Chains A and B, each alone.
Chain A
Amino acid sequence: MTDMFKGYRGEALAALKKFNVRVWSDARIKTTRGDFNGIILPRSETDDDKHIVLKLITGYNVGITISTITDMDECGYKEAHYKIPEKEFPFSEDKPNVKLFGTGGTIASRLDYRTGAVIPAFSPGELYGAVPELADICNLTTEKLFAVFSENMGPQQYLTLARNIGKEIENGIDGIIVGHGTDTMHHTAAALSYMIQDPPVPIVLVGSQRSSDRPSSDAALNLMHAAKAAAESDIAEVQVCMFGPTSDKYGLLHRGTRVRKMHSSYRSTFRTIGDRPLAMIDRETIKPIRQDYNRRRKDRKATVLPYFEERVALVYYYPNMHPDIIDSLVDNGYRGIIIAGTGLGHVNKPVYPAIERAAKAGVAMYMTVQTLWGYVHMFVYDTGRDLMSLGLIPTENMLPEVAYIKLGWALGQTDDINEVRKLMLTPIAGDITEREPYDGYLIFQGGVPEIREFIKTIYK
């Protein structure tokens, strides 16, 4: 019954019932605005109940207003069933074996052209059908671990992912790809960086900024880059592989602890912050940008540390923040707080008592900078020193989101606040660096003549 009127409710559902016309039927509709013929499509449940959707013979969709309909009848029925075509993914002895874990983001997909629904391509066969070039790079196997949107990825998923990746490494895989929505990819990258330490093979997170159902999508190229990185790269670290420029030129491999999504929609949204990326990658070559990376090994040992304490918060400080923000976290049993402070790592005086109270309650508190670039320097001003004396610990140049993940991971392992402190301040997988290179901070300012000149000479 529900399927017959897929997605319709209220007035629209009543009209379909009244004229006894089903979804997928070829319908003739008479309205006060003239006649319309076409296939009745399912309707998105978030749309209103005043219209029904019709696919015309030309392929266009239109909506018909319920209140204008005078008559409707069904003169045919064409239910659509869609499936991504599967082609067997070719296996060749001489190619590296790569495992792709799916988390729910759609890496490759196609649109159901009638409903607009995105059908994910995921099995090796489906992926091969969509991106056949993958077979030139590796032997691919896939496993769908969960189906959640990027914003719903959380501790449970981090743990499952880490354990599964650990198992694959033990079993002798040559490289791992994790398909991931882009919004929280850097959180997951940080989590995996802590939970799988010193891996012998590359662990590459990849996604797309433009869905793969469009011809201009970055998905296929990102996937090819990721497969290449997983299969061939010497860089055995947790890394994010996404577009370098917005042009189809090359991808960048970013260290999982130093990467951040920096634009809501650009293809080149991921940037290594305060440092240089690991490598540039295109379909032919992988060009390392730095040499201090963890190298690929033949052994099958990785240190898997799947821990996470969920009662950790990341507080973005703003002027006039009231102490009750901190108090309420403490009252609610939070065990750790990361503060993204202003400038070198500051919050205003009225918050101090709350910080003191939190410290006394045994809450682990760490300071990061909301400027993202640069180090926390709490010795420069008295205020900083005061804060430290209250129990707020600076975290050098750790990114706020990374510090949040790290604190959750540390508190997941121990209740000992000193042990936590040791874990937090020991650099892991490059999350804290001793030096900031001269070009670790580069945000070109648009409009400046010399920048405009430069932009003109490259493919942006």
Chain B
Amino acid sequence: MSEDFNPGENYKESLQLIGYIPRDEARQEVYTNLGFKCGLEIHQQLKTAKKLFCRCPAGLYQDGDDFDAELIRHMRPTLSELGEYDGTALMEFRTRKNIIYRIKDESACTYDIDDTPPFPINREALDITIEVALLLKANIVGELHITRKQYLDGSIPTGFQRTAIVGIEGDIPLSNKKVRMIQISIEEDSCREVSDKGHFRTYTTDRLGIPLMEMVTYPDMKTPDEAAEAGQYLRFLARSTGKMRTGIGAGREDVNVSITGGERVEIKGVAHIKWIPELTHNEAFRQKALLEIKRIISKRVNNPNQWKINSIQLNQNNIASGSGTYREARNRKSNLIAVNLPQFEGILSFFTQPGKMFATELSDRLKVIACLERPNMTHSEAFLADDEIDPLGNEEWKNVKKLLHAKEGDAQIVFWAPDDDIKTALETIEERCLLAFEGVPNETRKSFPDGTTIFERVLPGADRMYPDTDSAPISIDDDQIEKIRENLPDPVDSRLASLRKWRVPEDTYHYLLKRNLVWIIQKIVDDFKVSPKFIGTLFGHDLRHIETRIVPAAQFSYYTIYGLFKFLDNRKLDIAIAREILPELYAHPKMVFDSVLTTIGYKKHSRNDILSNVPALRKKFAEIRTSSESRAEIDWIMGNLRKIAIGNIPLSELSTSIGEEINRD
């Protein structure tokens, strides 16, 4: 390290160099200048009784520790097109993972553990996917071909996911543009990961095989907010069928991001759409940083093909035995390996994501590819508090550099690894550093709630798709499509248009679409000729509020509210009483409407009955009045009559009648 090199300062300078700004300060031009492009892959579980290719019930989940049997497998790459193993495959194989599956009788059978061929596809799931494809205006295929998409991480015991295209193309409208769809497919969901430590990765098979549909857009989104908007729209569209599974993990997004000069990077398994903007913003700047690193390092190194690391094994004589780094290695029965990265000074501490730097990219890959649990390394530019444990002291680094024959301008890493993993670790470090000369590696990355991402694996190509020899093609006939088309829900954009036309408050839209309530509102309005604005507000404000504070005694079905209006219509009750009934009805979904009426204290009164109270109330008001305005008198009387009037006479009508009575004087 040069004498005057300060990693902390270098980090700050690198931030400025790439023009990083936090998202809340970023305007549209920032993304235009970066050449920001984003596409989405929305995964959504379908609400079917059974799994996609076997007859196990779908949607039964267990704790990771609750299982009936375990089995162990290994995934072996199969040869790709050119007789080579593709990048992902090779990486996964190098990791030499023991994959352990935990199976539970209730949720998994021999199909799930790849000991039985697939059963015919779940037709219910196929129909739902066709329905969504029609909503996306996609071209429906004539014949479904089940395809195997290879995954070597073990998340599917076969080593591939069975998946099939249902439709291609299509589009969705955003507020300011159209976003084009690439395809919609149906597939089996994967296992849930329980843990991933060293050379052991454990999965449960409960989620495996649940029907999942995937909607893929073109990279048409040019800002993080557009990406989120498209995500929401697609989710609302899926929900509008009423046939989607909901709850944690039922909907997941993969987000593809690239900038000018960068590469497509896939951020996988984003659990919430609201995370998309921060994640894509950070990824755009991570790519910008990697491009800047490429520029810097390419200037320093003329021929990257000759760029090489060198390494030595450290021992007690090189490193003080009391140092935390040494202790850490010893505790893990690991070796301590020092690596020299020629001319990488300033690169390791170069910003990549908030709180992370280039060194983090190396550490991430050491974890995933070489199976070195974190913390797995420290380096000559470590300065962030949360970066790595207990860095070496200056004297120790000096010693390490001497041992490595390091030159001015080089950077160093010290990592700890068991014997068997050293080779892979060294290859991994060299490989990632060489990729720095190329810019942005094609990767899939895992997301964190704080908006940062971590390396997951090399991005696989289209070559990993193989026809499933266990399944015959399935014809999708016009009759089948037309039957589904007849019962399609209204498109999301026309639902939004209806809400606007009805003048339902805008702050209810998200709730109403997410819960798929617009069709119920429409039905109530159509069948009972009531005010759409009132119904929309009843759902979007009253119901939403009730949901946050009342726990129902039994499952509350939104359709109960339709029943309520039917009841009010039969009884010729005024709809305003619905607002009084709703909290009670929500709390006790099984109570009959009559009983709810009694509980809230409703009694039938005729219009004349109610109005006959007015003279006495006027007299009382005259005694206590503080305002001379007739409005105040009407309001006060209304307040007193409201309880007996509600349900019996529209309150506006009551108000008018009271007004008339007052004005008659």
Contact = CB atoms under 8 A, between A and B. Distances in A.
A85 B72 contact: no
A129 B466 CA distance: 20
B114 A216 contact: yes
Contact of A265 (B72, B84, B116): B116
Contacts of A64: 141-143
A60 interface: yes
B183 interface: yes
Contact of A57 (B83, B157, B160, B462): B462
Contacts of A130: 79
A47 B142 contact: no
Interface in A221-270: 221, 245-249, 263, 265-267
A129 B183 contact: no
Nearest to B159: A215
Interface in A135-156: none
Contacts of A66: 142
A33 B140 contact: yes
B113 A214 contact: no
Contacts of B151: 215
Nearest to A50: B475
Interface stretch (A113-121, A194-202, A332-340): A113-121
A246 B469 contact: no
B467 A61 contact: yes
Interface stretch (B164-172, B294-302, B443-451, B575-583): B164-172
Contacts of A65: 142-143, 475-477
B71 interface: yes
Give the contact-size bracket for chain A.
Answer: 35 or more
Contacts of B272: none
Contacts of A118: 469
B78 A215 contact: yes
A202 to B, nearest CB: 25
Contacts of B642: none
B79 A85 contact: yes
A358 interface: no
A59 interface: yes
Contacts of B152: 215
A65 B115 CA distance: 34
A110 B148 contact: no
A345 B229 CA distance: 74
A57 B150 CA distance: 17
Interface stretch (B62-70, B274-282, B372-380, B499-507): B62-70
A460 B145 contact: no
A62 B77 CA distance: 25
A321 interface: no
Contacts of B169: 34-35
B132 to A, nearest CB: 16
Nearest to B157: A216
A132 to B, nearest CB: 11
A39 to B, nearest CB: 12
Interface in B127-153: 138-145, 147-152
A75 interface: no
Contact of A60 (B67, B115, B185, B477): B185
A216 B75 contact: yes
Interface stretch (A366-374, A378-386, A415-423, A451-459): A451-459
Contact of A63 (B113, B114, B141, B462): B141
Contacts of B115: 209, 246, 263, 265-267
A53 interface: yes
Contacts of B165: 56, 58, 60-62
A184 interface: no
Interface in A76-124: 83-85, 110-111, 113, 115-116, 118
Contacts of A51: 142-143, 473, 475
A414 interface: no
Nearest to B103: A460
Given A48-B475, A118-B469, A455-B68, A62 B79 contact: no
Interface string B148-188: 11111000011110011100110000000000001101000
Nearest to B160: A214
B73 interface: yes
B489 to A, nearest CB: 21
Given A60-B185, A266-B115, A215 B150 contact: yes
B81 interface: yes
B75 A213 contact: no
A68 interface: yes
Given A65-B475, A460-B71, A216 B469 contact: no
B142 A63 contact: yes
Contacts of A192: none
A265 B117 contact: yes
A220 interface: yes
A459 B72 contact: yes
Nearest to B137: A34
B332 to A, nearest CB: 24
Contacts of A129: 79, 83
A273 B98 CA distance: 31
Given A84-B79, A118-B469, A59 B463 contact: yes
A60 B141 CA distance: 12
Contacts of B80: 113
A275 B145 CA distance: 45
B465 interface: yes
Contacts of B168: 34, 36, 56, 62
Given A216-B159, A455-B68, A456-B69, A58 B143 contact: no
8 contacts: A36-B141, A56-B168, A129-B83, A215-B78, A216-B158, A247-B73, A266-B116, A459-B71
Question: Ordered nearest first, which 6 A-B pairs have the shortest CB separation?
Answer: A63-B143, A215-B159, A34-B139, A85-B83, A65-B142, A116-B467
Given A58-B182, A113-B465, 10 more contacts: A36-B141, A36-B168, A47-B472, A58-B465, A60-B185, A63-B141, A113-B80, A116-B469, A213-B466, A459-B100
Interface of B: 67-84, 89, 100, 110, 113-117, 138-145, 147-152, 157-160, 163-165, 168-169, 182-183, 185, 462-469, 472-473, 475-478
Interface of A: 31, 33-36, 47-48, 50-51, 53, 56-66, 68, 83-85, 110-111, 113, 115-116, 118, 129-130, 209-217, 220-221, 245-249, 263, 265-267, 452, 455-456, 459-460
